[in-house]
Amino acid sequence: MKIRIGSRKSKLAMWQTYYVQDKLTKAGVDTEIITMETKGDKILDTSIAKIGSKGVFTEELEEQLANGDIDIAVHSAKDMPSVLPEEFELIAFTDREESNDVLVSHNPELSLENQTKKIVIGTSSVRRRALLKLYYPHVETVDIRGNLQTRIKKMQDGLCDGILLAYAGVHRMNLESMIVRHFPVDKFVPPVGQGCVAIEAAGTLPIEKKEMIRSCINNPDSETCLLAERAFLRCLEGGCSIPAFALATLDGNTLSLSGGLVSLDGTKNITSTRIGSRAEAQSIGKELGTFILGSGGKELLADIRSLQD
C-alpha cells in the first residue's frame, strides 16, 4: 500500500508533512510527498481577510484530492475552514503542540507593557490584531504575510519591532531563542485548532487506507478537542477572517471549552466556557457558539463583516 501525501511547500508545512510521513513509514507504509503552492502562499500583498476565509490554504490541495493525484493532504488545523466541501473530510488529527501565541523579536528587551515608546507588531491575524487592541491599545499593528522565515526577515529589515506567532510553528522551526513573551491561553485564547495538524481526504478514499492512516496518525484526545472547537466555529460560520477563538482541554473524560469573539477594535469581547463529557464534544461546541451568538455575537459578526467588505 502506498500513500501519496499532498503539502504546501513552506518549511513549516514540510515539517508537518515529514512528521506525518515518519509515522506512516514507521508502520511500514510506502509514501510519496507531492508539494504545491496555494492561493494563500501566492498572494502576499493582501490580508487573509481580504482574500477570503474559505480555501485560502486548502483549495489547490483539495483539487488534487478530488482528482486522485494525492491520497491525503496535510494542513495546519487552524487553516481549515469550519465547513469543508461535502466531498472531503478530516480523517485524523495529530498530537497537539502547545497552543499558545508568542511574541518573537530580534530585540530581547521588547515589552508590550512599555508605553513610553512606539511599538509596532506584525501580524496577519484579525484575532491577534483585535486582542492586541483589547489588551494593549497603545501598540500599533502592521500586516505581515509570508512564511515564517520571510516574516522574520521583514521584521529584521525594520517593518516592525516584533511578530505575534503560534508557539507551535516557532518551536518546530527551532526559533525559540527569539521568543520574548509567551501569552497565556486564558488571555490570548488561540484560534480553533492551533498547534494541531489535520489530515484531509476525499470521501472516495478506500476505507482500508483511511483506517490505516487513522491508526498511525490520529490522537483521540486531539480529535475530541478539535471536534468541539470546530463545532463552535461552524456555529459562527467562521474562518480565519473573523476574530473568533476557542480552546478545548480534557481532564479524563471531562471536556472544557472556552471561546468567544472580539470586535476588530477590541472594545467588545464576548467569552464563555462550557463543560461536559468528551462524548458530547460537538454538542458542547454548538452550545457555546449558540450562546456567543445570542449574547451579542450575531450583531458583532455583522459589524465585523461589514467593515471587511
In what order do the strands lie in the sheet containing 88-93? 30-36, 2-8, 72-76, 197-202, 88-93
Which strands form 101-104's sheet, in the order they lie side by side? Answer: 140-142, 120-122, 162-166, 101-104, 179-182
Tell me, yes or no, if the two domains 1-94+197-218 and 219-309 fold the same way.
Answer: no
> What CA–CA distance (Å, rounded) separates 169 from 189?
17
Task: Name the residue ranges covered by the structural domains of the chain.
Answer: 1-94+197-218, 101-182, 219-309
Phi-psi region of 230 (alpha: psi -120 to 50; beta: other; left: phi over 0): alpha
pLDDT at 57: 63
- Match domain 101-182 to its CATH number in 3.40.50.300, 3.40.640.10, 3.90.1640.10, 3.40.190.10: 3.40.190.10
- Residue 71 has what pLDDT? 97
From the candidates 30, 45, 69, 79, give the one annotated as an active-site residue.
79
Contact 164, 190 (CB under 8 A): no
Task: Provide CATH code, domain 219-309.
Answer: 3.30.160.40
Look up the CATH number of domain 1-94+197-218.
Answer: 3.40.190.10
pLDDT along the chain (309 residues), means of 10: 92 96 97 80 46 61 93 94 92 97 97 93 95 97 91 96 97 96 96 97 96 97 98 88 95 98 96 98 98 97 86
Is 79 a known active-site residue?
yes
Which of left, alpha, beta for 237 (phi over 0: left; psi -120 to 50: alpha)? left
Look at residue 290 and give its three-state secondary structure.
helix
Q: What is the CA radius of gyration of the chain?
A: 19
